A = this chain, B = another copy of it.
């Protein structure tokens, strides 16, 4: 069984029929402990999503309560602002409605193994609100922004900046006129809300997204499989931003999604989403013709692990297309390990791992979930590269004596002998490896 099959194990047995879409029918590959860990993790995410409204209300209530303590004169001056807080609450209500719909319709994805449904009682959410971590609530809010980024017309420019260079590179390398695209296997680790994965499958490639966050998996499952109408839903993704606002309307600007409906525009190629930690799930060498990473490789504790894994799972001659700004996610996160090599370091490391650079570009202007109305404008001058695993590539990791000899040539004064031990041990690992498939 290869990684892809392993990754595609289902959250639901094949016996269940959904009206329009089937979920991949392989049985779960989790042992009982992993399944229990997975169930608890999913419960936490669901609790956070269901708690969204209360959490956001608490933020507004605090402001309103401070407002009430101000002198009457100030309160009069702030009358329109007070009304604005009411509008913000309405937007939070609307967001919660979409989240509720997402959770309700997702029941078949969320239901663990068909026998035991993930159950999070309301009194657990109300009574143990303190157990819901602020970080999870921030992820819930981010998920709304990322729905906007991937699936709303208003973020079309962002997608053009981030996804088009990758799609263009893949279409240039695997030309539709020269390849049977449904035989070109592409992996998108860090697939997020799934738009890049969808766009590649839509063009005919066999495309698998991989994502570790259940926030994103729940939302992408909803968009990819359960949205039946274009722009059916309305979200207020910027409602949580209380600073840098010019007009009240900016904070409560709605977006509609999905701008394109995958159900009505099914991809020509096979599309699958695989849940789980990239390093845990993908271990089988020579599996993919292309790995496409977009704002992903900096999500590693040790980026060298990511680079080696990408190298290993690529077929000889396969390509790695990457775009992003090296915003190392574990840098300065307490309790997490992190190294933060610069691009200058990475270029050498990528070559040492065995890749050839076909293209390398700096300064690619890309926004990431930028509130278009905000007075704060942030963008990255991202890196973009296309690397090839040579046809005659040797997996240096499994052939340490050979590779270390070569390293000695690359590194002045480098000394031989390597060890595989503890390579993954410092990486965060969640046992869940489940998936769903768009058909």
Contacts and interface: CB of A to CB of B under 8 A. Distances in A.
Interface of A: 59, 62-63, 66-67, 69-74, 76-81, 84, 242-248, 250-251, 298, 301-302, 304-305, 325-328, 331-332, 337-345, 348-349, 352-353, 362, 375-383, 396-397, 400, 403-404, 407, 411, 413-415, 417-423, 426
Contacts of A62: 337
A316 to B, nearest CB: 21
A248 to B, nearest CB: 5
Given A342-B84, A342-B248, A404 B327 contact: no
A376 B377 CA distance: 10
A67 B339 contact: yes
A332 B63 CA distance: 10
11 contacts: A59-B332, A71-B419, A74-B423, A79-B411, A81-B345, A242-B338, A243-B328, A245-B340, A247-B343, A326-B375, A375-B380
Nearest to A346: B81
A142 B434 CA distance: 44
Contacts of A66: 301-302, 337-339, 426
Contact of A69 (B69, B245, B341, B422): B422
Contact of A417 (B72, B84, B247): B72
Contacts of A331: 242-243
Given A76-B415, A84-B345, 16 more contacts: A62-B337, A63-B338, A66-B302, A69-B426, A71-B419, A71-B420, A77-B407, A78-B339, A81-B341, A242-B328, A242-B338, A245-B343, A246-B343, A247-B342, A248-B345, A378-B378
B327 A250 contact: no
Of the candidates A77, A344, A423, the one having the most CB atoms from chain B within 10 angstroms of its own CB is A77
B339 A81 contact: yes
Contacts of A376: 325, 327, 378-380
A411 B63 contact: no
Contact of A326 (B243, B340, B403, B426): B243
Contacts of A422: 69-71
